[in-house]
Amino acid sequence: MSMVAYKAPYLLQIMMDDEPLNPRTDYDNFGHMACWHRRYNLGDEHNFEDTNELFKELVMNSVSPDTVIDYVKSGKADSVKLEYDRAAASWEIRSYDTHFKKWYDEASFPGKLEANRQEIFESLVDTLPNPDLYLLAAEKNIILPLNLYDHSMLRMSTGSFLGRAQHAEWDSGQVGWIYATPEDMEKEYGSLTPESREKAEALLKSEVESYDCYLSGQCYGFRLYENGEETDSCWGFLGSYSDMRKEIASQSLPESHRDMVDHLHEVTDTVTRYKGYEDLMEDLEEMEA
């Protein structure tokens, strides 16, 4: 697609950028995007085998042993217990098997809890299911789901596509997570406060929006000619076509010519990216003839 408008002495050309930069590999990002998909290479490079490995690392790196131990001891984990066996004088970790509807012994730690604190912490992290690990990790980290819609094009969002995209019940689902650690937030904002967490979440969502534009092909560039000479150009704009037009009007056109973006004509020739000023003027003259 290439759109062209002329208002003396300016000629404006807007077109699809068919060689856009990948915002996850070519830009500096605040968040970390971990995805798993059998057909597409999505997000950032990572070494996590699955969500469980990701959540375990986040908990191990940001949550204290006391927090995890207290979480389980207080009964907040429905399928994992940490109990003291007086007869054996040991701390026991047990997990519940929903299929057999039975509790199983996972690990035993003779002696006092304090003497085994680190080992019990690590064993609990290995035993807890993903929902509990997520709740623990989310106390310190910002973690948002990544949902992919695969239907004639790729789209990505932190929200579900159900109810807002055709056939989303079959063609969409979660493919990963985008997250920011306490260290990321402190580096970016200088402190860990409710306000910085709110800003961090908004920034993560904006990164997903940019990646969504890249995946769905909402990538544009433009050229501006004045009296036949190219005076301005920009590539790699990620966003909607309407936002692109507004930005060009406000940033690149004089006030007297901002209405040019409302009078763009489509040039269907697929080689318009390589056409020059004279070729584009000929196209406009042919359309107006």
pLDDT in tens, 214-227: 999 999 999 999 99
Q: Who wins on pLDDT, 270 or 212? A: 212
Q: Who wins on pLDDT, 147 or 287? A: 147
Amino acid 275: pLDDT: 80
% the chain with pLDDT above 70: 97
Q: What is the mean pLDDT of the chain?
A: 94
For 135-148, write each residue's pLDDT tens digit.
999 999 999 999 99
272 pLDDT tier (thresholds 50, 70, 90): low
CB within 8 A of 156, min separation 6: which ones? 42, 146, 147, 148, 149, 175, 208, 211, 212, 215
For 172-182, write each residue's pLDDT tens digit.
999 999 999 99
Taking residues 198-213, report their average pLDDT: 98
DSSP 8-state code for residue 136 = H
The tokens 């807890």 sit on which residue?
128
DSSP 8-state code for residue 60 = H
Answer yes or no: is pLDDT of 71 > 80.
yes
Answer yes or no: is pLDDT of 270 > 90.
no
Amino acid 282: pLDDT: 86
Amino acid 273: pLDDT: 66
Amino acid 287: pLDDT: 79
46 pLDDT tier (thresholds 50, 70, 90): very high
276 pLDDT tier (thresholds 50, 70, 90): confident
Q: H-type helices in the chain, by residue range?
A: 51-62, 65-73, 117-127, 130-137, 168-171, 182-189, 194-216, 241-251, 277-288
Q: State the Cα angle at 184 between 182 and 185, rounded to 5°.
A: 65
Q: Which of 131, 136, 144, 126 is nearest to 34 (CA)?
A: 144
Answer yes or no: is pLDDT of 264 > 80.
yes
Per domain, the residue ranges of the chain are 2-20+219-288, 32-50+140-216, 64-129
Taking residues 70-91, report their average pLDDT: 97
Amino acid 271: pLDDT: 56
The answer to whether residues 201 and 30 touch, using CB atoms and an 8 Å cutoff, is: no
CA 97, CA 141: separation in Å to the nearest integer?
A: 29
The tokens 């190219």 sit on which residue?
230
Query: Burial, 199: exposed, middle or buried (Cβ in 10 Å; 0-12, 13-18, 19+)?
Result: middle
The answer to whether residues 9 and 275 touch, using CB atoms and an 8 Å cutoff, is: no
Taking residues 93-118, report their average pLDDT: 96
pTM: predicted TM-score of the whole model, two decimal places: 0.90
The torsion defined by the Cα of 266, 272, 275 and 277, in degrees rounded to 10, comes to: 20
